[in-house]
A and B are shown apart, each in its own frame.
Chain A
Amino acid sequence: MSSDLVMYEEEFQQIDEELQRLFQQANAKVVFLVDKNGQLIASAGDTHDIDTTSLASLTAGNIAATGGIARLLGEKEFTILFHEGEKDNIHISLIGQRVILVVIFDKRSSLGLVRLRVKKASETLVRIFNELTNKSDREKSEGKTEDSPFAEISDEDIDNLFK
Chain B
Amino acid sequence: MTDAHLSPRHIPDRLQGRGARILKSWESLLLVVAIAIFLGNSLASPYFLDPWNLSDATFNFTEKAMIAFAMALVIISGEIDLSVASIIALASTAMGYAVQLGVDTPALVAIGLGVGLICGMVNGLLITGLGLPSIVVTIGTMSLFRGLSFIVLGDQAFTGYPKSFAWFGQGYVWWVFSFEFTLFVLLAVVYGVLLHKTNFGRAVYAIGNNQTAALFSGVRVARVKFILFLLTGLMAGLASICLTSRLGSTRPSIALGWELEVVTMVVLGGVNILGGSGTIPGVVLAALIMGMVTFGFGLLNVPGIVMSIFIGLLLISVIALPILWQRARRRLAH
Q: Do A and B bind each other?
A: no
**B interface, CB within 8 angstroms of A:** none
